[in-house]
Amino acid sequence: MTTYIGIDVAKRFFDLYDLVEEKHQRFENNNDGITACVTHLGTRAPALIVLESTGGYEMNLAIELQGGGFSVAVVNPKRIRDFARASGQLAKTDRIDARIIAEYAAPLQPPPQGVWNKHIRAIKALVARRVIADWQEGAPQMLPRLRVVFGGKTAVPFWQAGGGFDRNLYEMARVRKAIEYIEYNPVRRGLVSEVTDWRWSSARARAGKGDAPILINAIEFDHEEINGHT
């Protein structure tokens, strides 16, 4: 029988539920607890492990699980809550637990994450800090749209949770396409009519309509060297 694992992560501990064994286990959310979890799951060979995104508390565990060769998906808690409500398992104020996450994993099988590493995490953390600091000063009205509460504490996560958002881009055509896709997001969401109308877009700087809040350095790439990595 295929094994699906749901993990509910908090700051100090995380709960694991094995859908086949119908068994809960709790581990401390530290190096020893994570190591013990990885060792235990090595005996279970799960097809998929799903964690709820909890403002970063889940990241060390997710990275170690992925490093252990497991398929791991970090999912927006709203998706799990919507699934639980639709299946009659959750009232509006009920808490999502590891069992519900495992029951979400089995039928829906969300795609596993791309590969995480410490360099990607460091870059994303730096960008998030700079953007949020700029918004605090110049556009504080943006922050409530990002604010969430985990375990009674308020956080402002900048990056969207879920798989498939990290990519290694080597060809310049793909880099440009990715930038254009990102710059068009405010238009796609109906926030502005033109990409250059979005105050925080790098498109404004490239179009000569002023500096973007976070400048992107112009880098000369060796196209042959880059293409040699594809």
Q: What is the pLDDT of residues 64-109, one digit of tens each?
A: 898 889 999 988 888 888 898 888 877 555 567 999 999 999 999 9
Residue 14 pairs in a beta bridge with 9, 27
Residues 179 and 96 in one domain: no
Give me the CATH number covering residue 89: 3.30.420
Residues 117 and 218 in one domain: no
To the question of pTM greater than 0.75 for the whole model, the response is no
Is residue 6 classed as helix, strand or coil in its secondary structure? strand
Residue 24: φ, ψ to 5°:
-95, 145
pLDDT over 50 (residue 226): no
Residues 49 and 128 in one domain: yes
* pLDDT for 224: 41
- The mean predicted confidence, pLDDT, of the chain is 80
* pLDDT for 95: 67
Residues 218 and 154 in one domain: no
CA distance 148 to 209: 34
Q: How many CB atoms lie within 10 A of CB 18?
A: 20
Total structural domains within the chain: 2
Q: What is the pLDDT of residues 13-64, one digit of tens each?
A: 999 999 999 999 999 999 999 999 999 999 999 999 999 887 778 888 998 8
Residue 60 tokens read as 């060390």
CA distance 127 to 98: 31
CA angle 51, 169, 125 (to 5 degrees): 50
Q: What is the pLDDT of residues 128-137, one digit of tens each?
A: 888 888 888 8
The contacts of residue 217 (CB under 8 Å, 6+ apart) are none
**Domain ranges, residue 93:** 1-162
Mark which of 127, 147, 162 sits at the end of a domain. Answer: 162
Q: What is the pLDDT of residues 139-180, one digit of tens each?
A: 888 888 777 765 556 677 777 654 445 555 667 787 788 888
Mark which of 145, 162, 179 sits at the end of a domain. Answer: 162
> Which of the two residues, 9 and 138, has the higher pLDDT score?
9
Q: From residue 177, give the alpha-carbon distance in Å to each of 5, 169, 181, 205, 230.
A: 36, 10, 6, 17, 16
* pLDDT for 106: 94
Residues 110 and 219 in one domain: no
CA distance 46 to 64: 15
Residues 62 and 38 in one domain: yes
Residue 74: φ, ψ to 5°:
-105, 120
* pLDDT for 150: 54
Residues 115 and 174 in one domain: no
Residues 116 and 176 in one domain: no
